[in-house]
Every structure is written in C-alpha cells, then in structure tokens.
Structure 1
Amino acid sequence: MEEEVSSSILSNEKGKKVILLGNEAIVRGALESGIGFASTYPGTPASEVGDTFSAIAKKVGIYFEYSTNEKVALEAAMGASFSGVRSIVSMKQFGVNVAADSLMPFAYVGPNAGTVIIVADDPGCWSSAQSEQDTRYYAKMAHIPMLEPSDPQECKDFVKFAFDLSEKFKIPVFLRTTTRVSHERGVVRLDNLMYGKTKGFFQKDMKKFNIIPPNTMRMHEELLEKMEKIRQISERTRMNYIVNENVKSKLGIITSGVSFNYVMEALIDLNIKLPILKLSLTYPLPEEKIKKFMKKFKSVLVVEELEPILEEEILALAKNVNPSLRVYGKKNDFLPKVGEYDEEIVISALMRITGRELGISFATHLKKYRKVKIPRRFAVMCPGCPHRATFWAAKIAAGKNTIFGGDIGCYVLGIFPPYYIQDFVFSMGASEGVIHGIEKVTDQKVIAFIGDSTFFHAGIPGLINTVFNKSKPLIIVMDNRTTAMTGHQPHPGVGKTGMSERSKEIKIEKIVKACEVKHVKVVDPYKVNKMIKTIRKFLEKDEVSVIVAKRECRLLTMRRKSRADEKIYKYEINQNKCKRCGTCLFFFACPAVYEKDGVFYIDKNLCTGCGVCKQVCPHKAIRKVKKK
C-alpha cells in the first residue's frame, strides 16, 4: 500500500487522477510547490503528513524530520525559510499551543521563502482526548492567513496557493484541516512536480531577525498592512464562491471547510436548492463579499464545527447591511456547540428553519440506520503491550491510596477498566508538573507515568523542576522504543531519523542522571516481580526517583520476528490447573484471553508470546507452547 501511495504522490503526469487521503494530498501540494524542507511532531489527525514525507523524502531529494516537539518543528521550518528554502510544518491542534511562543513573532518577522503551517483540528475528539480546541482563533490572534479545504483536491490546491501567498507577502500561512478532511479519500488531479531549492544561504539582517523594540512595533504595523492586502485577495479569490447563486430564496447558507460537504449532502437529501457562500480563505474574511451575499436574504444559516467564530463575524457584519437579518446557528441553538457535525445535524437544522420534510425513501433509510446498534467497548492496550505489565506491577506495588499521574500516549488507556490507574490526564508532560504540586501539599504517595516520546517532547523540564524544588515523586518513563500512538514514528531515543538514517541514540536514563536524579533504574516490565520490587523500593525514597520501563512495543517486535521468519512462542491455559479465577481475563485484561462456557482460553492468533500472563496467574496454569 505504501508503494502504491508513493507512486501516486510522486507521479509527474500532469492531469493524472489518483486517489489520496487529504493528508497525502497536502504532501503532493507541497511537492508541486517546490518545497525543500518539511518537519513535524507526529499527532493525529495530522500524522500521515509527516509519515508520507518520511517515506518519500529521499526519493525527491528534500529534507524531512520528526522534531522533538512542535515548537522545535516550527523553528526548524523558520530557519529553512530564512535561508531561502520553502518549508512546511505539520501538527495537530494542540501542537500549535506548544509552538505558539515562536509562532507569534514569526508572523511579525515573516519568512523569506514560503512557509505553510498545517494544523489538524479534531471535532468530536476522535484522537484528541483533552479538548475540542478550535485553532481558527490562532489565525486571528497571530494575524496569520488561514485556508480551510473541504476535500483532498482542495488540500493539494490550497497548499500551492498558500505557498505563493506566503512568499508574496512574506507571511506564514495556516492550512487548517479537520479529522474528516485529513482522513477523507478522494480523487486528486495532479499537476507537475516542482523541484525547488533544498540548499540556501542565511543572509544576516539585524533589523529583520532581531524582534525587539522598536523593531517590534514597526513589524506589527507592517503585519497589519499585509493582512489588509490579503483581505483584498480574499474578496477576489475564486476560493470564496457562491453555489446556486441564481436560486431565488429567502434563506442563504454560509459555511466553510468540511461543513460545506455536510450542507451539500443535506440539500440533496431534502431535495432543495439554496444559495451557499463557501468560504475557503477564512482569515481574513472577505467582508464585502459576505455583506453583498447577506443583503439578498431574510435569514442565513451559518454552518461551522466547534466555536461560533464565523457566526459571530456574520452577526457583526449584518448589523450595518441587513439589521433585520435572522442568523441561525449555534447562538440560537439551531446547531450544536459541541462535537463533530454530520449530514443529519444539518438536515435537522434546515427542517426546523424551512419546515421541509425528508423524502419517504430517505426517512425510511434513516430510521433503519438509527436502529443499528454498534456494540460498545472500551479502547484497550494491544496484546503483549509492555505498558499493561507496568500498570499491573504499579497497582500491586503502590496500593490504593497512591496518586497516579497520567500523560499523553498509548498508556492513556490505563484510565479504563480494569486498571483505572491514571487519576488525571491533561497534556504532554503534565503528569510530572501536576504530580509535583500534589506531592508538595499532601502526604500521599505519587507516581507519574510518562512515555518515551512524550519525555523528549515535554517531560525534561518537569523532571528538572522536581529535582530543583525538592519534591519526591516516582516517575516511571514507559519506554516502548517508538512514538507508538500516532503510528510508530521514531524519536531521539531510538537512533533513527525521519529520513531512515542512523543517528545517535539518546538514552533516557542518561538524561535523567544528568538532571541529578540519584535513584534511576532501567527495568524490563516483562519481568513483573522485579518491577514490583523496584516500584516499592523507589516509593520509599525521600527524593525524586525514576524507573525507565524499557521494552519495545510488541507490535514492532512481532513485525520484526515475522519478517525474519523467527519462531514466535505462544501461550496456552492448562485446563487441568486453571481454577477459573479470571485473573488473566478480568484483572490483567489481555485481549488474547477469552471465556467460552465458563472456560478460559488464549487466542493463538492474538497471543504475542510476551509471557506476562504466565507470571501473573496465581495458579501457574499458563504455559508456553511452541507454535509459529
């Protein structure tokens, strides 16, 4: 599949039509724009942008990297652009928070070569548990233009437009997707590849690159002037256009991004036509075009996911051009303020406004659809996941009154039954900071869990803070040798770059020791008893202590063994010894274990041969069998 995607993305046949993900189409757009530098910190729903660059970078002669975090990724892209090389950086919405400290002054300074910032929002929190953050606010706050594609073709085309806009006005440009746009597959018509500069030269310019007063105020004024010129482009561009412009109606619709698709589907199902203003260059808005559109109607429906940003702008503009205009949207509860939209949500709003009923055939189909019951289940860690073994050991060693700090990664699944082992989860690196505060004002035992990639991303400052301010948490770094949750991307601890080149392996335990932590131990979580003893011992320390629970993600191990044609030793339950206590299924909760007619079995297709179940079975009823 990867070869097929690479072949499609790298084709130089102008006019050829290929099927791409939205994220893959973004990469193609960058290649048609002559980029020389790409960077990212992996985060779903944007992960495939970086992964695709990683797969093709050497083939097209560009540089790509997985950076240690989004701030560094942005800064690296800035450096490339300052040196005259077009750059692109991608991240999920929370990554913009991390990058914001450099993002704001970057808008003032501006790139030399074009720079495009890809950000993927996640309405409905499909892969972003912490919040439904709406990154459109950053565009307004930073005075950075924003484009919002609705499908893969627009993803490709808008990236090209963004680079040209960025380079013309010396300003970074946001391209904002959402989960559905990033992961939508669609037909994309290709243009020719463009081979741009991959090597540049940094020309010193004290006035441009030193953003201190009085330069700051001058740059701010220049930025506002740029945005006004770009607003004029927003008025003229074909990206902001009207569908069904000649249809006579008292109701119009204003929408953007993926919501445009839901609107179009809803109108088809209701068998009606309404004028639609589709906005794609959403910051700065084409105010005059919007005013002209609003004058025609008695009411408009504003369809957008997440915050009512567009709706508030429409309400403000309507006061002067059409004071009696009725604006339907989130503010008056015609559309939800929370969650991802779909066709049915838009249909419901239109039915309330127009009094239109669904056709009989579609209504019958919808009724049947609603009756479908999808079985509910909790997300679980994979069979053989080393984090499961770590959590098992921690629960036994620490006791009920211990506070467990959670972080962002696969191990966030520890919040679900039967472990319930993360008492809070906020953001990357927060486990250490929050647990430090708890330890300072309580007498409770505290443990912070943090993953290896997260440790490099945001965990080192928190660790230093515990040492500097003399708190005594136990920090368990869960090192599964990869950035597993977003697709097994490399990080600084694995000795491999995004270009698949060998690099220095930065050992977490050495960083910890360099931070003056005295009590540091690397433990294999598959050695359950050793892990339990180490946790108990370190919990009694009067200063911060760190356990690096090091064991490769079992999925990677299984793939490697399979490719090398190595034997994989599975496990089975000895029914003569099994007491049906349920420890393996209900308490250890390995997905490979199942129950049938009151008897417990291990599914040989799911078993990864980790052997931890054998160690936790109180009746020694699990044994190894040799089977490929």
Structure 2
Amino acid sequence: MANPLLNEKGGDTHLLLGNEAIVRGALEGGLQVATCYPGTPSSEVPDTLYKLSPGGKYYFEYSVNEKVALEVAAGATLAGAATLCTMKHVGVNVAADPLFTLCYVGAPGGLVLLSADDPGCHSSQNEQDNRIYARSAGMPVFEPSTAQEAKDMARDGLKLSRKHGQPLLLRTTTRVNHLRGPVEFGPAPDPGKVEGFKRNPSKYVPIPAFARPMHLALMERMEALREEAENSEYNTVTGSGKLGIACSGISRAYVADALDNAGLADKVTLFELGFSYPLPEKKCLDFIKSVDKVLVVEELEPVLENDLRVLAQKNKLDIEILGKDVLPRHGEFTVTLVENAIREQLGEAPVAACDCPLPELPMRPPNLCAGCPHRGTYFAARKVFGDDAVYSSDIGCYTLGILPPLQTADFLICMGSSISAGGGVAQASGQTVVAFIGDSTYFHSGLTGVANAVFNSHDVLLVILDNRTTAMTGHQPNPGVDKTVIGENDHPLDIEASVRGLGVTEVRTVNPFNQKKTLAAFEELKALKGVRVLIAKEPCPLYSRRVYKKVAPQVAYVADSCAGRFDCLDKLACPAMFKEGGKAAVNPILCNGCMLCLQVCGHIKAKKRGS
C-alpha cells in the first residue's frame, strides 16, 4: 500500500509529525528536488523524503554537508526546479556563503530553505535564532505553529518563492518539528518536468558589475514580498483589548493556551505573524495604534520586538513596547511563563507553576549504547595516553566520550573542528593531541582539516570513528557507507584511500573490539610525529542489526569466579552491565555481544544467547 503522503488527491486528514507535514506540504507545492544534511530537529523531513523517494516524483539526496546541499539546491532552482533544502539551525552557518549570494541571484524555480532552530539546546551546541540570517541575507520568513501550518507553509512557501524568484526561509523550532497534529491534505499533482536552465549571465553571474544591480533587484523583490505579507492569511489580528500581544512561530501556541487558561482573550488584541518577514508595516502600524501597550512574545532574540520598536520610532508613536524586559532571551517558553507575563501587564495576580510532586526517577545521564564500538576506541586511547593527551572532540554521538570513565572530549567547536582546532592546540602549546571525528563528520568537513594539517605540518593524531552510518541523527547514509536502509550504496568512498590521498603516510585501520590490535596501533602512532590517522572501523550495533541484519550470537556473563573488582563496569561504563549480589552481571536484552568486557576482565566468560 502506498504511503498516504504520496497520495495525489486531497481531502483526507492524517495525524502527522510536524516534519512529516512539511514533507506533505512540499509535495503539494510541486516539489521536484530535495537536498539536505541531516540534523535534529529537522532530520525526519529528509528521512521521510528518502524513504518515499522510490515512489516519489522528485529527486532527493543526502549531501555531504549543508553548504553543498544548498549549492545543489541552488543549481536545481536555477534550472527551474521547485526545490527544498533542509538543515538544522547551525547548518545554516555552514551554508551561509552560498546563501547570501543566492539571495542576489534568485530562485527561478522556487526554493524553500528549512531552518530548524533549537531553543533550549535539546540537541545542539547553541540557541541561535535564524530569523536574523533571513533579515541579513534578504529572505521572506514563514513561521508555522501547528502541523497544519507546517504543511500549508511548506506548500505556499514553494509557490511564493517561485512567484517572486526569491529563496524563502521556513523557520521552525523543535516543538514545531516534533509536535503531532491533524493535517488536512490538499491535492499533490504531478510536478511535471523541470524546465531547464536558461542563460542570462547578467542575472546569474554576480561579478561586481552585475552584483550591484542584483542587490537593487533583491530589495525590489523584498518590497513586493512585503505587500504579500500585508495581505497574507498567516498574519491575523483578533480581539479588541487595550493590551496588544504580538507573537510569531511556536510562541503563538503558547499565547493561545495562556489566554485560554486565564480567560483573558477579551482583554487583549492579538497580532499573530506566521509570515513574519518582510514585516507587514501597515498592518503592524494599525495594530500598534489600536492598543495602549504592546507585549511581544517570541523565543530567543528580540527580532520582532526590535522591528516594532523601530517602526514605532520612525512613525513617532508614543507607546510602550515590552518583550525581553519581561520574558527570557534564552531557552523555551512555557504556557505558565507566558500567562504570567500577560497577567502582569493586565494587573492580574500570577499563577503558580505546577507543584505536583513528581516521583523520584533514577539518574540517567546520556551514555554510549551497549556494544558501541566507540567505547573500545576510547578505552584503548585512555589506556595508552591517559591524561597526558589533550582530546579534541567533534559533533556526533561519540561526543558522549566526554563522560567518565572514558573522558575523551576536552573541547569541541563545531563539525569538522577536531582536527583543525586540535592542530591549533598542538602548534601553539606543543601538547600531545588526539582528535576524534566520525565518518559522516569527516566527509562533512574533516577533509579540509586533514589537508590543512598536512600542509602546515601539524603534530596531531586523528582517530576516525567509522561506524558505517550517520548514527546520531538517525542512521542516514554518508559517502563511506556500503549499505543503506533502502539498498546498496553504488559508490562508497574509501576513508583510508582518501586520507592517504590527502598526504597522510601513517595510517592504521583496526576493529576497536580487537583491543590487542587497537592498543598496538595507538602505541605505534604515539611514537610518531606529524599527522597520523587511526581508523576505528566497526558498524554501529543498532545500524548493524537494522541494515546488515546482524544478530550477536553470544552474550557475556560473570562466572562464579568473579572477584568483584568491577573493572568491567568502572572502566567501560557499558549500560548492559550492572551490579548484582556483589558481582558484575549483564542484561542479555541490552548486550550486543561485542565481548569488549571479556578483554578488560578475564573473569568474564561468554555463553550462547538464550542458554
């Protein structure tokens, strides 16, 4: 049975994840090309498109990084294709170089860039607000607050972008990406054939002589889009109270719940902006003039607040505009937080946050999975280098090496930085540096770091943790994999060959579950100088079970001879192991049969699973 997301007819209603709703909206908007680099909270959008691609009428690819993804998308839209490019908020930093110029060049086929922001740092290293990127680059912004709007805005964003030839930012946040809600489908007709690229150098080649008029054309397009925002159904004013509330994105949902809980809807005038940029200035002015005070409710930066302040000042309006004076500039909002901010402005007593007693739960710090090959690599690195080395880490599930007892992450900057920043530490201080990077991250932005390290003769040991997938964000393929969830990778790239091709002469490849060989390789490389690489190659056990259909044949257990030293627990911290009756024990359900514990403590033996 075909996936309902591919149904060309409309009228049905389905309960969808926000990210699934974006997929449906893109298909309704005539999607022809989709590119991405996966990153939570955006990952389910490309993952869904990937799984649907055998039956879809669009081209999809996992690109090696966000810059490349946007460049492929740029070429596609220049060829006339309706295009979607997805990434998480920090990915836009990587894509910023082509993004700013693309906004000059334009998007003839239509291009929506999904930026999934992450207030609260649920799965990210910062909380940046990418509405600021849109204002700097020159992009209209849609901000959905429900699953239905996520679908509708993805659809309308492609159409609006194509109409005006301007890339559009679909700005979501974690709560929008991961909420579930009813979504009524519209028709998703066959998008047809891509028109093809039409030469026009003065429009598409931004040499200085052409770039200057391109900038003027961009500003003209943005003014035309401002008129679209003035008349957009996504920008609404309701109520007639003297307190004005302006809100955008998921904050609209918080405000709606807060007003409903407090019964204060009749005391406010509510201005909701779903099409938040270019600012619909006429509608904003009418709103400001109709109230005595304005409270701006938006997560993270005071973007809308500052827009309204500037507008009020330019029009000499004497009105109090509040925002970050009373609401935080960091983290996610809650309904209670927003309700109390509204109550304060209306002179109402605040409500207390729920003080319902919660049951005491066991502490569960994040940990590498049972059977994760990174544990073997980290254990060996610590055994050889201990605290004598500085450990440079990178972005991935392997960053969990920061936790004791492994403690192999001393600093981290961004994707691909482990080799570059590690080289910086080594060159500046002379300290021994061991840098870790995953296979997907290596292809994302590690190759240039290796090239730089070789060129500048850095003294650093790079450990490439090749677990055959992009594990942290959901087992997406990368250029080095040989097998994916929907079939073989016809062109797998060899990591060792690429490293040698970049000029590294000292390279070792090991299976980290073979501790004898892994320790020997670390000792060999420790004795050398310059750039050297250890490739720790073993599939992620979850991916192996899912894609390679590999089931561990054995499970470790503690024999009666266990002396209760607990080396296996204290040195590995494997979540499959626990203490029982003064001895170490293994949970056979969690155990993946890696047998690493057998190599750490000779008292542990193995038996057949189920025996």
1:599 is the counterpart of 2:583: yes
The one-letter code matched in structure 1 to 2:248 is: S
Q: Which moved more, 1:144-153 or 1:496-505?
A: 496-505
> 1:367 deviation in Å?
2.1
Residue aligning to 2:246: 254
Residue aligning to 2:6: 10
> 1:501 deviation in Å?
5.3
CA distance in 1, matches of 2:84, 2:355: 45
347, 372, 393: which one aligns with 1:355: 347
600, 604, 607: which one aligns with 1:616: 600
1:558 is the counterpart of 2:553: no
1:394 is the counterpart of 2:362: no
SS in 1 for 2:291: coil
Tell me: CA distance 1:320–1:115, structure 2 relative to 1, closer, same or farther (3 Å): closer
CA distance in 1, matches of 2:309, 2:164: 30
User: After superposition, where does 1:144-155 map in structure 2 within 5 Å?
Assistant: 144-155=139-150
- Preserved CA contact (<8 Å) 1:491 1:497: no
SS in 1 for 2:529: coil
The one-letter code matched in structure 2 to 1:348 is: N
Residue aligning to 2:132: 137
CA distance in 1, matches of 2:307, 2:501: 52
> 1:498 deviation in Å?
8.8
CA distance in 2, matches of 1:498, 1:595: 37
- Preserved CA contact (<8 Å) 1:23 1:46: yes
1:327 is the counterpart of 2:327: no
336, 353, 373: which one aligns with 2:328: 336
Q: Which moved more, 1:101-110 or 1:530-539?
A: 530-539
> 1:78 deviation in Å?
1.2
SS in 1 for 2:477: coil
User: After superposition, where does 1:368-407 map in structure 2 within 5 Å?
Assistant: 368=356, 371=358, 373-407=360-394
- Preserved CA contact (<8 Å) 2:563 2:583: no
Residue aligning to 2:78: 82
> 1:417 deviation in Å?
2.2
The one-letter code matched in structure 2 to 1:572 is: Y
CA distance in 1, matches of 2:457, 2:542: 38
Tell me: CA distance 1:298–1:322, structure 2 relative to 1, closer, same or farther (3 Å): farther
- Preserved CA contact (<8 Å) 2:89 2:130: yes
SS in 2 for 1:59: coil
CA distance in 2, matches of 1:485, 1:616: 27
User: After superposition, where does 1:64-143 map in structure 2 within 5 Å?
Assistant: 64-128=60-124, 130-143=125-138
Q: Which moved more, 1:196-205 or 1:79-88?
A: 196-205
- Preserved CA contact (<8 Å) 2:426 2:459: yes
User: After superposition, where does 1:432-447 map in structure 2 within 5 Å?
Assistant: 432-447=419-434
Residue aligning to 2:286: 292
- Preserved CA contact (<8 Å) 1:389 1:612: yes
Q: Which moved more, 1:213-222 or 1:347-356?
A: 347-356
SS in 2 for 1:39: strand
Tell me: CA distance 1:350–1:156, structure 2 relative to 1, closer, same or farther (3 Å): same
- Preserved CA contact (<8 Å) 2:344 2:350: no
Gaps of 5+ in 1: none
CA distance in 2, matches of 1:194, 1:125: 38
> 1:545 deviation in Å?
0.3
CA distance in 2, matches of 1:623, 1:131: 44
CA distance in 2, matches of 1:560, 1:286: 50
SS in 1 for 2:156: helix
User: After superposition, where does 1:303-322 map in structure 2 within 5 Å?
Assistant: 303-321=297-315
The one-letter code matched in structure 2 to 1:533 is: A
> 1:587 deviation in Å?
2.3
Residue aligning to 1:367: 355
- Preserved CA contact (<8 Å) 2:484 2:547: no
Residue aligning to 1:482: 469
35, 45, 57: which one aligns with 1:61: 57
- Preserved CA contact (<8 Å) 2:508 2:535: yes
RMSD over aligned CA atoms reads 1.8
Tell me: CA distance 1:621–1:60, structure 2 relative to 1, closer, same or farther (3 Å): same
Tell me: CA distance 1:548–1:91, structure 2 relative to 1, closer, same or farther (3 Å): same
> 1:504 deviation in Å?
1.1
The one-letter code matched in structure 2 to 1:536 is: E
Residue aligning to 2:46: 50
- Preserved CA contact (<8 Å) 1:107 1:144: yes
SS in 2 for 1:58: coil
User: After superposition, where does 1:577-592 map in structure 2 within 5 Å?
Assistant: 577-592=561-576
SS in 2 for 1:211: coil
CA distance in 2, matches of 1:220, 1:567: 60
The one-letter code matched in structure 1 to 2:183 is: V
SS in 2 for 1:367: coil
Identity %: 41
> 1:322 deviation in Å?
6.7
The one-letter code matched in structure 2 to 1:367 is: D
How high is the TM-score relative to the length of structure 1?
Answer: 0.94
1:528 is the counterpart of 2:520: no
SS in 1 for 2:405: coil
Gaps of 5+ in 2: none
> 1:275 deviation in Å?
1.9
Q: Report Cα offsets for 1:347-404 as digits up to 9, x if no partner.
A: 2312332232467xxx6x82216x5555443110100000111110100111212000
Residue aligning to 1:166: 161
User: After superposition, where does 1:511-526 map in structure 2 within 5 Å?
Assistant: 511-526=498-513
SS in 2 for 1:60: coil
User: After superposition, where does 1:269-280 map in structure 2 within 5 Å?
Assistant: 269-273=261-265, 274-280=268-274
The alignment covers a number of residue pairs equal to 608
How high is the TM-score relative to the length of structure 2?
Answer: 0.96
Q: Which moved more, 1:464-473 or 1:313-322?
A: 313-322
Residue aligning to 1:281: 275
Q: Report Cα offsets for 1:392-448 as digits up to 9, x if no partner.
A: 010011121200000000101111222221110110011111111111122211111
Q: Report Cα offsets for 1:123-160 as digits up to 9, x if no partner.
A: 001011x2111111110110011110001100111112
> 1:81 deviation in Å?
1.3
- Preserved CA contact (<8 Å) 1:270 1:347: yes
- Preserved CA contact (<8 Å) 2:242 2:269: no
- Preserved CA contact (<8 Å) 2:552 2:592: no
Q: Report Cα offsets for 1:7-57 as digits up to 9, x if no partner.
A: 231233421100111111111011111111111111010000100000111
